[in-house]
Structures are given as C-alpha cells and as structure tokens.
Amino acid sequence: MSKKKILIHGGIVVNESSMSEQEIVIHDEKIVALCSQGECLSDQFDEVIDATGLYVFPGLIDPHVHFDAPFMGGTTDHDFHTGTKAAAFGGITTVISFSNQAKGESLISNLAYNENKAFGKAYVDWSLHGLIYDASEQTLSELPELVKEGIPTYKCFTTYRHSGRLMDDDGMLKVLKATADGGGMLMIHCENDAIAEYRTKQELSQGHNSWIYHARSRPALAENVAIQRVVDLMKVEPAPVYIVHASTAESVQIIQDAQSQNLPIHCETCTHYLILTEELLNSEMGHLFICSPPLRTEKDVDALWTAARIGPIAVVSSDDAGLPSDLRTRLAEGRFDKVPNGMPGVEPRLTMLYTEGVLKNRISLQRLVQLTATNPARIFGLHPDKGSIAPGADADIVLFDPNIEWTMSAETLHMNTDFCPFAGRSVTGKPKTVLCRGELVIQDFELVGSQAHGRRVFRKLDKTLLG
C-alpha cells in the first residue's frame, strides 16, 4: 500500500463532463484534492509527476474480458497475469472477467476457484461476473449470495444450444425474477439460436464453408429478434439487464425504445464492432476475425458510433477473447462453423477509440471517459471509488500522450497473442503513465508495477441507476 504523497501537475484533467488544467493530490491510494495549476508546492510531496502536454483520464474499466477461459477447443490467450499487464498498457486499471461455470456446478464454488487463479497475479484491480447455464433451484438460490459477496452481475446466453449454454424463455423468466429479488443485474448474450442453427445448416448444405458465411449464418435478424425477446420478457419480470456486445443498427434502436418505456436495460458495444466490418471475413485470414455476434456492415458501424455518442450505448468494452492463430486455423478445418469465436483487444481499446472516435469527431473526450470509465463504474457497482478523478476516489489515473503516432501490431502491443485485429493501422495516442490506487504500474511507457498489486474489488449496484 502506497503511503506516499504524490502530485500530478501540468496536465489537462478530463472527467465525464469537464476538462480543465488541474493538479491532482494523491495520498494513501486516494485522490485527496484537485487544485488549480501552480497552487500546490512541489517540495511538499514525495513524488511529482509532470503531465505537461498530456490528457489525464480516470483509470479505465473494461467490464467484459475473458481471461483464462476455455472455449471451443482452446483456452484464451490471456490469464490474469498477462491480461492485466496488457490492460495496464492500455490505460485500464480495473477489469471484470467471467467465471466459467460448468453446467450443474455451484456458482459459489466456481467463483472461488476462478478467484484463486487471479489472486497475486494481477497488475491492476479486478472482479468477476458469474456465468450461468441453467435456472436450476441451486443456481437461483445462489444468485443472492453472489450479490452479498460483491459479485452482483452474471451472464447467460440465448444461443449455443449445442454446448449447453442456451437459456430458454422459462429459464430466463426465473433468472430475471431471482435477479430482481436478489438485487443483481443479468448480462445477456443475445442471438436467436434457432435462426443461427438453421442458417448454419443451410449454408453448409450448399457447400458454403468459407469465413464470410459465419456472418451470413448469424444475421443481424438473429440478434435483433433475441434482444426484442429479452425486452418482452422484461415486461413480465422487470429486472435490471445489460446487453453485451450490441452490433446492429436495429438492436440499439430496440434498446433505446425499451429505455423510453422505463425498462432498466443498458447496453455496450465493443471496439471491434465500431471499427471493423464483415468484409474482413472475405480474406484468406478471415477466420481470425470471427466473433459472435459477427462483424457487421458500414451502416451498422455508423449507427453504433451514433449510439455511442448519444445513447443508448453506455459502455465500450473489449470482449477480449483471443486464441493462438495456429490453433484457430487448426480447429477451423476450413469451415466457418468450427472456428473458435473471439478476438484479443484489451490493450488497443483506448488508442483505437481516441484515433477513430475523438480525432474523427465521432465522440468527445468527455464522452470517451464516460464510455470507458464513468459509465462502467456506475453500472457495475464501482462508483464512486472508480471511474472519475475526484477527491475520495481511488487514485486510478492515466496520463495519455495525444500526439504520439505509431503503427499498431501484435509486436507493438503487450498482449499475449500473435494476432491484433487492428494490425497495420496508423494510430495516434498512447497511455504514457498509469497509476492504480496511487501505485505506478506503467511509467514512461514501461512496466514498473508489481503483479501482486491488483486486488479483488467488492461491487455493489446502484439501485437508482438500474431502475
């Protein structure tokens, strides 16, 4: 634990609704004061950090990563050691990964198992979501216990019947009721399984094996139908819901309409849905860009940017879930339906959103902070400790160089992967220095932190925000 008194001066502090030159005073892991430039005397501090020419952001939060996760014959590239290291280089000071429950397994015991894999290995703070595959009495009874343990969020699927992950309508209603009663929030992966399976069989029967048919087999309609179904079920059991990785123009409109009816629904998109399109699936290496839901069209990209700027998209996550390229190629066997889904992305998120969002006037700097820090903190029960630069908040701070120009690749990043979905792109901006609870993790673009510094954070949802 840091007992040092630290001064950050010279930078432009960016919060969710303000941007100004301020000095930040840090003591004992917390921000204790914000002052006008030059107000504090540097000789009163143990350490002075010069942020001249830099933006100063609150530490980013990525509420959707898959560290050490088994899926479709492989295990994701990142564990908590390598994943939180990459996160820190990307300006992220808190990550929330998923516990990977086996069907019929106790949620409580599974979470304890996955927590043990994280303790002592994380450079930044962390938490877990539950992952539920059924609505058994045991599962439903354990949901309030998760909330009491500071893990108030858990995820289910409307697809993947073949792997036992599909939650049917009856199960969904039971989980929604238990969620409302127990004070949690249900995260939902929305794709209509029947449409996806039917279309997959159709494409394969016609000899359509190539990568682009992943997108054809999981059309926008499959996502839209599933989200509308969730909205309809919420009218029966109105529990807080968070839609993960919305990817279509129609889906964000459905969510916006539901919000106008005062339903407690929130949603995110992911970096890759804002930047990449399905045309990448037409390339020889298209299988490396397969994710679910699939990459979409330019029309969808434009709609997602609008929704990220003005709503209903509240969060941009990474959905980090990469696997080694050679393993993906081997498991694919030349067929789109056999490719393990997912891409790495925890580190590039901030730079990509700054380059493609802020510099192209799609979002403001303040909105960037909202999407990556303040909103995730509020929605996932981390506020006011995290998500903003304010007295009393954790000293999670990112000094971001907005002028550095570089080319993104697997080699210029620090992720434990041989593939970067944004490789070859000329980008602008990079986190220079990152503090997590007042401890330097990244300093002058170099790793200086301890892998045991990150701690499991207790989360409690804000009921007024959730409805």
| Grouped pLDDT means (10 residues each) for the chain, 467 residues | 84 97 96 90 87 98 94 85 98 95 84 92 97 93 95 96 91 97 97 97 97 98 98 97 98 98 97 98 96 98 98 98 91 92 96 98 98 98 98 98 98 96 98 98 98 96 74
Residue 104: CB atoms within 10 A of its CB come to 11
Close Cβ partners of 330 (under 8 Å, ≥ 6 residues apart): none
Residue 255 belongs to what H/E stretch?
helix 249-260
- In the chain, DSSP finds a helix count (H) and a strand count (E) of 15, 20
Peptide linkage before 348 cis (omega within 30 of 0): no
Contact 81, 451 (CB under 8 A): yes
CATH 3.40.605.10 is right for the domain spanning 59-385: no
Please state, as a whole number, how many other Cβ atoms lie within 10 Å of the Cβ of residue 149: 17
Per CATH, the number for 5-57+388-447 is 2.30.40.10
Q: What is the per-residue pLDDT across 106-164, written as a single tens digit (0 to 9) for each?
A: 999 999 999 999 999 999 999 999 999 999 999 999 999 999 999 999 999 999 998 88
- Residues 280 and 293: their CA atoms lie apart, in Å, by 14
Q: Quote the pLDDT of residue 466.
A: 60
What was the pLDDT predicted at 37?
84
Angle between helices 169-182 and 137-148 (to 10 degrees): 30
What are the boundaries of each domain within the chain? 5-57+388-447, 59-385
The H or E element that residue 269 is part of is strand 265-270
**Predicted confidence (pLDDT) per residue in 157-187, tens digit:** 999 998 888 999 999 999 999 999 999 999 9
- 8 Å CB contact between 318 and 349: yes
Residues comprising the chain, all counted: 467
Residue 198 confidence (pLDDT): 97
